[in-house]
């Protein structure tokens, strides 16, 4: 398989994602510049974290206007797999590939710390190497991670098992106190109705290598790689 990491002006986790895919998992990985339209025949696209275009207007709003996003939307529409992390999640909501939007944290502060998240759906290519309701520890680093969706969209996300990650405590209990940013329903990550586009605020690339202190997020990358290796 082959993976592509999109690079926008202001991306700062692009090399981290590249390292995990290329060096940890030995996947053929390329950078995709935001002004290009050619996806170089990749099987997986990663929209990394960072501050695309300085987070002017709304986070991800300007990045969504980059030429590469026309290709990403087309790729996803044809069933291609897309992972958006932090700012990448924001871009996915701006593009309409995922419902809802990300607002400023309820604390109005930038938050950078490890958090506990519960795996709510392990039937997807992105999560099949996790156990359902498994609790894992993944870092967050954002100021605009407060996910919101209207009542009808929120009900639809729940009814269709599109809520993939929820913030919780160490015991897996989902509480107001374990919600770092005010997200509705403690949502940390969602998937589209087809299950091929995943957006998440936590940074799995920051905890997929023992040199960084742990591999709690290793199963996420292994899951999608195993799936796509079987498809290619």
Q: Which residues are catalytic?
A: 86, 203, 205
Dist CA 121 CA 141 (whole Å): 23
Sheet holding 135-142, edge to edge: 28-33, 2-7, 44-47, 81-85, 197-200, 187-191, 163-168, 111-119, 135-142
- Give φ, ψ of 67 to 5 degrees: -55, -35
Residue pair 46/83 in contact by the 8 Å Cβ criterion: yes
- Give φ, ψ of 40 to 5 degrees: 55, 35
Dist CA 208 CA 220 (whole Å): 9
Dist CA 92 CA 66 (whole Å): 13
């Amino acid at each position: 398989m082959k993976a592509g990491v999109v690079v926008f002006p202001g991306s700062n986790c692009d090399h981290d994602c590249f390292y995990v895919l290329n060096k940890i998992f030995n996947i053929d990985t390329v950078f995709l510049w935001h002004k290009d339209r050619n996806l170089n025949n990749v099987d997986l696209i990663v929209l990394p974290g960072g501050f695309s275009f300085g987070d002017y207007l709304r986070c991800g709003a300007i990045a969504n206007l980059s030429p590469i996003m026309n290709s990403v939307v087309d790729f996803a529409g044809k069933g291609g797999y897309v992972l958006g992390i932090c700012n990448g999640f924001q871009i996915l909501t701006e593009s309409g590939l995922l419902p809802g939007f990300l607002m400023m944290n309820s604390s109005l502060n930038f938050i950078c710390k490890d958090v506990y998240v519960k795996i709510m759906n392990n039937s997807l290519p992105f999560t099949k190497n996790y156990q359902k309701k498994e609790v894992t520890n993944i870092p967050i680093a954002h100021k605009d991670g407060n996910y919101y969706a209207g009542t009808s969209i929120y009900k639809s996300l729940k009814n269709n098992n599109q809520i993939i990650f929820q913030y919780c405590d160490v015991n897996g209990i989902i509480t107001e106190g374990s919600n770092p940013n005010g997200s509705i329903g403690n949502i940390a990550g969602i998937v589209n109705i087809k299950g091929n586009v995943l957006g998440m605020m936590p940074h799995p690339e920051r905890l997929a290598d023992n040199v960084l202190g742990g591999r709690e997020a290793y199963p996420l990358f292994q899951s999608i790689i195993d799936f796509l290796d079987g498809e290619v």
